[in-house]
Amino acid sequence: MARDHRPRARLALALDAERRGEGRHPRVSRALSLHVTNGESAAGTLRRTGLGGSVLAWNDVLHEGPVPALPADELREVRARFFSQAGWGSAREILDDLGQRDRLFDEALAGDHVVLWFEHDLYDQLQLLQILDRVTDPARVELINIASFDGRPDFRGLGELSAGELESLWPARRPVTEEVVRLARAAWDVVRSPTPAAVEELLESDTSALPFLAAALRRHLEELPDVRSGLSRSERQVLELLVDQPRSPLQLFLASQDREEAPFAGDAWFYRCVAGLGALVVRPGNELVVTDTGREVLAGEADRVELLGIDRWLGGAHLRTGQHWRWDGSHVVRGSAA
């Protein structure tokens, strides 16, 4: 499912609607203060249910850009700069919106009942970790966390459900326990660690308190360059699909989504990934085509990092050409060309 992950626009829309109380169902049958969910698509539908209360979209693409281990106020500044540099608006406006989001959440935690609505993919699970890390009194918090929905065999996310379907999930909510909060804090710490090996270490422990966390974090590690070609999993899927046939950007995005067990990347961030492949992919017309160099990299005959370099973040790990980590399919290893 294509998501619009424009932090400034989507978060501002969510906050403005929240301030005005727009889109709420007139029947308020449950005295809840705050529902928190991943983005504005699901948030907008939640406002049309009969669940009552207020709705807040988290709206941060934590699988993209730097997520270092900093205090919350400093992390907001880092995220705002990243989104602004990526072309999503003014850093000051984004920072104001992120600050307002956190204040609304913290105010609700201080005295009200909060329900978290999330799904199983990497985008949602990283948000859930960040949110649970802020929870000091789990008795005030409940969680709805799903990977499937009856009647929708191709379910990909809460945003595709109707108001009635979302409301039917109400009985699925479960209390957030101290065990859940402890695991979330530990996982949030390792995601923000300067070495991705910390994530691998966590995966060797019991993560069953958050049943979708292990798969999401493994997918997170698959975005490291692989030891054979220097490609991340997302990049490899792009080249494999283009070897099959040239495709338009939209066709490529949809085909890549179909290769994911739990699709998590919105179209804008996917196209950013494609652009990062540089000379490995060209667009002579309306379709994208893999180059001979791209074929060599895909075959392991050349290395993506050696050819193009690397300067990007995976959580708190800054991957650079001379200092990075790789994924061998099972373990994190120090980076070097195959």
> Is there a single domain that holds both residue 282 and residue 209?
no
Return the structure tokens found at 79: 């995220």
Q: What is the CB neighbour count within 10 angstroms for residue 148?
A: 11
Q: Can you tell me which residue has the tokens 């169902």?
A: 25
Tens of pLDDT, residue by residue, the chain (338 residues): 335 444 444 444 444 544 444 443 333 335 557 999 999 999 999 999 999 899 999 999 999 999 999 999 999 999 999 999 988 889 999 999 999 999 999 999 988 799 999 999 999 999 999 999 999 999 999 999 999 999 999 899 999 999 999 999 999 999 999 999 999 999 999 999 999 999 999 999 999 999 999 999 999 999 999 999 999 999 999 999 999 899 999 999 999 999 999 999 988 999 999 999 999 999 999 999 999 999 999 999 999 999 999 999 999 999 999 889 999 999 999 875 44
> Is there a single domain that holds both residue 247 and residue 206?
no
21: left (phi over 0), alpha (psi -120 to 50) or beta: left
Q: What whole-number distance in Å separates Cα of residue 202 and Cα of residue 97?
A: 32
CATH number at residue 275: 1.10.10.10
Is residue 51 a part of any domain in this protein? yes
Is residue 2 a part of any domain in this protein? no
Let me know: does 122 contact 219? Beta carbons within 8 Å. Answer: yes
Return the structure tokens found at 206: 């019991």
> Is there a single domain that holds both residue 202 and residue 288?
no
Q: Which of 181, 204, 219 is the last residue before a domain boundary? A: 219
| DSSP label of 332 | E
**Entry pTM:** 0.89
> Is there a single domain that holds both residue 313 and residue 250?
yes
> Is there a single domain that holds both residue 141 and residue 64?
yes
Tell me how long the chain is: 338
Is residue 274 a part of any domain in this protein? yes
Is residue 171 a part of any domain in this protein? yes
Is residue 260 a part of any domain in this protein? yes
Is residue 1 a part of any domain in this protein? no
Q: Which of 175, 200, 219 is the last residue before a domain boundary? A: 219
> Is there a single domain that holds both residue 318 and residue 184?
no
Q: What whole-number distance in Å separates Cα of residue 331 and Cα of residue 17?
A: 45
Instruction: Using alpha carbons, select from 202, 222, 224 the residue that is nearest to residue 213.
Output: 202
> Amino acid identity of 238?
V
> Is there a single domain that holds both residue 188 and residue 268?
no
Q: What whole-number distance in Å separates Cα of residue 311 and Cα of residue 233?
A: 17
> Given CA atoms 157, 158, 160, 165 in this order, what sign does their dihedral have?
positive
Q: Which pLDDT does position 330 carry in this prediction?
A: 93
89: left (phi over 0), alpha (psi -120 to 50) or beta: left
Is residue 303 a part of any domain in this protein? yes
CATH number at residue 55: 3.40.50
> Is there a single domain that holds both residue 215 and residue 301?
no
> Is there a single domain that holds both residue 187 and residue 45?
yes
Q: Which pLDDT does position 89 carry in this prediction?
A: 87
Write out the residue range of the structural domain in which residue 241 sits. 224-334
151: left (phi over 0), alpha (psi -120 to 50) or beta: left
Q: Which pLDDT does position 244 carry in this prediction?
A: 87
CA distance between the termini of the chain: 35
Tens digit of pLDDT for each residue in 83-97?
Answer: 999 888 899 999 999
> Is there a single domain that holds both residue 189 and residue 254?
no
> Is there a single domain that holds both residue 174 and residue 233?
no
Return the structure tokens found at 308: 């193009």
Let me know: does 14 contact 50? Beta carbons within 8 Å. Answer: no
> Amino acid identity of 138?
P
Q: Which residues are CB-contacts of 70 (< 8 A; sequence separation ≥ 6)?
A: 78, 192
Is residue 190 a part of any domain in this protein? yes
Alpha helices in the chain (DSSP H): 7-20, 40-46, 72-85, 91-111, 122-133, 163-168, 178-191, 197-203, 213-221, 233-244, 249-258, 267-275, 292-298, 304-308
Q: What whole-number distance in Å separates Cα of residue 148 and Cα of residue 326?
A: 32
Q: Give the CA distances from residue 41 to residues 48, 104, 113, 219, in Å, rounded to whole numbers and listed in that order.
A: 12, 19, 22, 23
> What total of structural domains would you count in the chain?
2
Q: Which pLDDT does position 30 carry in this prediction?
A: 53
> Is there a single domain that holds both residue 262 and residue 298?
yes
Q: Which of 196, 219, 242 is the last residue before a domain boundary? A: 219
Q: Which pLDDT does position 31 carry in this prediction?
A: 55
